[in-house]
């Protein structure tokens, strides 16, 4: 097993996650089975209790692990399935050590940060790196470990010390360090400044780790003279300095890293046996090049409104945004995403701040399609319900996710079934019409946790369903969940009789997973979170449906047996009707 430790210098938030994922991507493209570990030095056991405002979204894994959103980057870039143990936090490490201490495993010794915490970290990394993360169950050969935060943070110290020891434990040829640093270019001079990088490399060295690669992030491209300067002052060869300036899309990051000789460096440094020779085949990294080029050449855009409650921090909807991007790119459209604060759509806002209210409604009305993502708690619920009503009544494409499904059901109950005051017991426990209720999940005889988390199966019913067609007419799909409340099965018949169809359910038939509205082009919602399994080259079906419907191409896509016309990426000027007619003519002529 080979390890690449990625550390950060100067400040966080400069794309260390994407750079770490890109190391994985370029080696995976060479045919090496990859895995990754993310270390978050905070005390929380996992990300489950985080407010999306502080840390961005909580990412959910197949096994139900609630983890840092960076794990989402790894899964998407490397197309792998990680496990909850691939995310290490200080809390998890201490919990593990303290449990052992209580059991008496340390035989009366004083339990200390060094060696007990540092040993636990090393054993954890060695154990988890071996776990297969792909369907073929092949053991990984290289593990990228991203250490969150920046070098010098108090919280990160035990981890840095653990890796200082680890480099000797696994031997030099199996371990290297890539240090991601910032090279600011102050407006006043425009000149790139290397001092902060020098200082952080010095700090890293002082803690016993030497960088093998220094990855410099900057706004503008950095010239060779600055590279030389960093090489001189940081005591590394020029080819060990990699520069990454701001790029048109994240898909360009692995390409830019590869073009600077990262693979050649890693082959020598880690003594890698590549399954391909030094002459790379022409198909090498082609998928990424195509993706990046397609992204840069999109001419038309699709306007999507996201009606949420954590709209001030875009990271709060990171996977939803990525899934929308994957789907838009597939259809050949640039995603124009507008975040609408759900509460601003409520009549209370009209009284308090009419400008905000009207602006929010204008954004909603201007959009081609609407997404109502997941969420918790009361704030903004009525605004989301109004957004659903507007989409339902005006034939606007809508995709609801988790809470989005629940509000669509509440809206239908109130405005179509005329069940005034219908609500979820999460919002109003006293409601006369409890259309969304708490349905704890029992695992065998044992009561599970309070949340239904992770991968579960959804079976499609015997009926025509757009979502089923978008998934490729499969019998069942497996997607990830994170919720507590669900549609009350007692009312399912009433909803269906009025046109709101529950086209997918869990194995027991009691949990409603997918809704579709009769007579509407695309009014769809899922109780699960399809965004977690969306990939740049494999967009998620419900998201693809939303984008297709929003640009008026859903019908022709379905009529073609779920295929996009080859012209889609070059010519997206045709409407659904024209497109379809033109295509049928081509077929007739042939
Ligand atoms: N709050 C809702 C529930 O617990 C929805 C959760 C979500 O959207 N992730 O069921």
pLDDT in tens, 160-175: 999 999 999 999 999 9
Residue 388 appears among annotated catalytic residues? no
Task: Choose among 243, 172, 236, 175: nearest CA to 201.
Answer: 236
Q: Residues near 310 by Cβ (< 8 Å), separated by ≥ 6?
A: 52, 53, 316, 317, 375
Of all protein residues, the one whose alpha carbon is nearest to atom 1 of ligand 1 is: 376
- Asked if residue 452 has its Cβ within 6 Å of ligand 1, the reply is no
Residue 343 DSSP symbol = G
485 lines ligand 1 (CB under 6 A): yes
Ligand 1 in contact with 528 (CB < 6 A)? no
* Two tokens, residue 452: 């239904």
Task: Indicate if ligand 1 lies below 6 Å from the C-beta of 403.
Answer: yes
User: Per residue in 483-519, is it b (16+ CB within 10 Å) or e — as a string?
Assistant: bbbbbbbebbebbeeeebbbbbbbeeeebbbbbbbee
Q: What residues pair up with 370 in beta bridges, in sequence order?
A: 305, 398
Q: Are 393 and 471 in contact (CB under 8 A)?
A: no
Question: Taking the CB of residue 190, how many other CB atoms lie within 10 A of it?
Answer: 8
Ligand 1 centroid – CA 134 distance (Å): 29
Tell me the best of 66, 377, 403 to mutate to test the pocket of ligand 1, counting ligand atoms within 8 Å of each CB and taking the most.
Answer: 403
- The catalytically annotated residue of 258, 346, 402, 441 is 402
Is the CB of 483 inside a 6 Å radius of any atom of ligand 1? yes
Q: Which residue, by CA, sits nearest to atom 5 of ligand 1?
A: 403
CA 373 to ligand 1 center in whole angstroms: 10
Say if ligand 1 is within 6 A of residue 374 CB: yes
Task: Give the Å distance between the CA of 61 and the centre of ligand 1.
Answer: 16
What's the predicted TM-score (pTM) here?
A: 0.91
Is there an atom of ligand 1 within 6 Å of 402 CB?
Answer: yes
Distance 376 CA to ligand 1 centre (A): 5
Which two structure tokens, joined as six digits, stand for 542?
């419900």
What is the DSSP annotation of 238-290?
A: GGGEEEEE--SSTTHHHHHHHHTTHHHHHHHHHT---SS-SS--TTTTHHHHH
- Inter-residue contact 407 to 378 (CB < 8 Å): no
With a 6 A CB cut-off, is 436 part of the ligand 1 pocket?
no
Q: Extract the tokens encoding 511.
A: 């949990």
Tens-digit pLDDT profile for residues 465-504: 999 999 999 999 999 999 999 999 999 999 999 999 999 9
Give, for ligand 1, the residue of 399, 483, 530, 532 to mutate: max count of ligand atoms closer than 8 Å to Cβ. 483
Q: For residues 363 and 338, what is the distance between their CA atoms, to the nearest angstrom?
A: 7
Indicate if ligand 1 lies below 6 Å from the C-beta of 60: no
Four-residue CA torsion sign, 223, 226, 232, 236: negative
Using most ligand atoms within 8 A of CB, pick from 379, 406, 450 the residue to mutate for ligand 1: 406
Q: How far apart are CA 342 and CA 381, in angstroms?
A: 7
Q: Confirm if 292 and 251 have CB atoms less than 8 A apart.
A: yes
Ligand 1 midpoint to CA 372 (Å): 12
Q: Is 375 in the pocket of ligand 1 (CB under 6 A)?
A: yes
The CA 208 to ligand 1 mean position distance, Å, reads: 45
Report CA(481)–ligand 1 centroid distance (Å): 9
Strand boundaries in 290-374, DSSP class E: 301-308, 334-341, 369-372
402: annotated active-site residue? yes
Which residue is it, tokens 């360090």?
Answer: 177
Protein residue whose Cα sits closest to atom 8 of ligand 1? 374
Q: Report CA(294)–ligand 1 centroid distance (Å).
A: 35
- Nearest-angstrom CA–CA distance, 497 and 492: 9
Q: Closest residue (by CA) to atom 7 of ligand 1?
A: 374
CA 581 to chain centre: 37
Q: CA 386, 392, 394, 400: dihedral to nearest 10 degrees? A: 70
CA of 491 to the centre of ligand 1 (A): 19
User: Quick one: pLDDT at residue 567?
Assistant: 56
30 Cα to the center of ligand 1, angstroms: 40
Q: Is the CB of 459 inside a 6 Å radius of any atom of ligand 1?
A: no
For the four alpha carbons of 553, 556, 561 and 566, in that order, the dihedral sign comes to: negative
- What stretch of H or E contains 5? strand 2-8
Q: Please report where in the chains the tokens 């080029």 appear, as a residue.
A: 293
Q: Please state, in angstroms and as integers, the Cα–Cα distance from residue 286 to each residue in 29, 292, 293, 323, 537, following that order.
A: 10, 10, 10, 21, 12
* Alpha-carbon gap, residue 227 to 250, rounded angstroms: 22
Burial class of residue 427 (count of CB atoms within 10 Å of its CB; 0-12, 13-18, 19+): middle
What is the CB neighbour count within 10 angstroms for residue 444? 6
- 426 Cα nearest atom in ligand 1: 1
* Ligand 1 binding pocket includes 426 (Cβ within 6 Å): yes
Selected catalytic residue, list 258, 479, 516, 531: 531
Task: Characterize the bridge pairing of strands 423-424 and 398-401.
Answer: unpaired
In angstroms and rounded to an integer, the radius of gyration of the C-alpha atoms of the chain is: 26
Burial of 374 (0-12, 13-18, 19+ CB in 10 A): buried
529 is catalytic: yes
Q: Is 482 in the pocket of ligand 1 (CB under 6 A)?
A: yes
**pLDDT (tens place) for every residue of the chain, 590 residues total:** 999 999 998 888 788 999 999 999 999 999 999 999 999 999 988 888 787 777 789 999 999 999 999 999 999 999 999 999 999 999 999 999 999 999 999 998 999 999 999 999 999 999 999 999 999 999 999 999 999 999 989 999 999 999 999 999 999 999 999 999 999 988 887 788 889 999 999 999 999 999 999 999 999 998 888 899 999 998 999 999 999 999 999 999 999 999 999 999 999 999 998 776 677 777 888 999 999 999 999 999 999 999 998 877 878 999 999 999 999 999 999 999 999 999 999 999 999 999 999 999 999 999 999 999 999 989 999 999 999 999 999 999 999 999 999 999 999 999 999 999 999 999 999 999 999 999 887 654 444 467 899 999 999 998 889 999 999 999 999 999 999 999 999 999 999 999 999 999 999 999 999 999 999 999 999 999 999 999 998 999 999 999 999 999 999 999 988 888 765 544 444 455 455 444 444 333 33
- Tell the burial category of 136 from Cβ atoms under 10 Å away from its Cβ (0-12, 13-18, 19+): exposed
Question: Ligand 1 within 6 A of 307 CB?
Answer: no
446-447 and 442-443 beta bridge pairing: antiparallel
């Amino acid at each position: 097993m080979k390890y690449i430790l990625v550390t950060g210098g100067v400040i966080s938030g400069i794309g260390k996650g994407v750079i770490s994922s890109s190391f994985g991507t370029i080696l995976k493209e060479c045919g090496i089975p990859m895995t990754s570990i993310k270390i978050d030095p905070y005390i929380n056991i996992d990300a489950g209790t985080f407010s999306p405002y502080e840390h961005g979204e909580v990412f959910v894994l197949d096994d139900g692990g609630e983890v840092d959103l960076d794990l989402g980057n790894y899964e998407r870039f490397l197309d792998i399935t990680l496990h909850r143990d691939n995310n290490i936090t200080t809390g998890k490490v201490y919990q593990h050590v303290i449990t052992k201490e209580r059991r008496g495993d340390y035989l009366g010794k004083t339990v200390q940060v060094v060696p007990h915490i540092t040993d636990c970290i090393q054993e954890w990394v060695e154990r988890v790196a071996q776990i297969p993360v792909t369907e073929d169950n092949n053991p990984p050969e290289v593990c990228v470990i991203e250490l969150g935060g920046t070098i010098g943070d108090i919280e990160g110290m035990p981890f840095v010390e653990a890796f200082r020891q680890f480099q000797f434990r696994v031997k030099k040829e199996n371990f290297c360090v890539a240090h991601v640093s910032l090279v600011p270019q102050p407006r006043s001079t425009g000149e790139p400044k290397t001092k902060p990088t020098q200082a952080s490399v010095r700090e890293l060295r002082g803690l016993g780790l030497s960088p093998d690669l220094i990855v410099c992030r900057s706004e503008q491209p950095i010239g060779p003279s600055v590279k030389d300067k960093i090489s001189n002052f940081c005591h590394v060869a020029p080819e060990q300095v990699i520069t990454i300036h701001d790029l048109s899309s994240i898909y360009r990051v692995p390409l830019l890293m590869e073009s600077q000789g990262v693979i050649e460096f890693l082959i020598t440094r880690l003594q890698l046996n590549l399954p391909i020779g030094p002459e790379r085949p022409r198909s090498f990294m082609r998928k990424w090049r195509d993706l990046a080029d397609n992204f840069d050449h999109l001419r038309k855009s699709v306007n999507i409104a996201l009606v949420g409650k954590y709209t001030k921090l875009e990271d709060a909807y990171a996977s939803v945004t990525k899934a929308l991007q994957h789907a838009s790119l597939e259809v050949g459209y640039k995603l124009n995403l507008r975040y609408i604060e759900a509460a601003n759509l409520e009549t209370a806002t009209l009284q308090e701040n009419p400008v905000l209210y009207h602006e929010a409604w204008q954004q909603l009305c201007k959009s081609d399609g609407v997404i109502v993502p997941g969420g918790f708690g009361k704030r903004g619920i009525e605004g989301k319900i109004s957004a659903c009503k507007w989409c339902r009544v005006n034939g606007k494409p809508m995709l609801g996710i988790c809470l989005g499904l629940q509000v669509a059901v509440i809206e239908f109950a109130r405005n179509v079934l005329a069940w005034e005051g219908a609500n979820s017991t999460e919002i109003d426990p006293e409601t006369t019409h409890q259309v969304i209720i708490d349905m704890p999940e029992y695992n065998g005889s044992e009561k599970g946790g309070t949340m239904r988390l992770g991968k579960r199966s959804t079976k499609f019913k015997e009926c025509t369903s757009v979502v089923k067609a978008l998934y490729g007419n499969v019998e069942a799909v497996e997607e990830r969940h994170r919720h507590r409340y669900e549609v009350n099965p007692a009312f399912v018949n009433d909803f269906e009789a009025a046109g709101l169809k529950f086209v997918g359910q869990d194995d027991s038939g009691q949990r409603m997973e997918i809704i579709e509205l009769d007579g509407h082009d695309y009014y769809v919602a899922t109780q699960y979170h399809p965004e977690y399994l969306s990939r740049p080259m494999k967009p998620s079906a419900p998201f693809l449906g939303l984008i297709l419907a929003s640009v008026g191409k859903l019908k022709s896509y379905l009529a073609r047996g779920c295929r996009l016309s080859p012209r889609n990426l070059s010519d997206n000027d045709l409407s659904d009707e024209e497109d379809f007619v033109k295509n049928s003519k081509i077929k007739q002529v042939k």
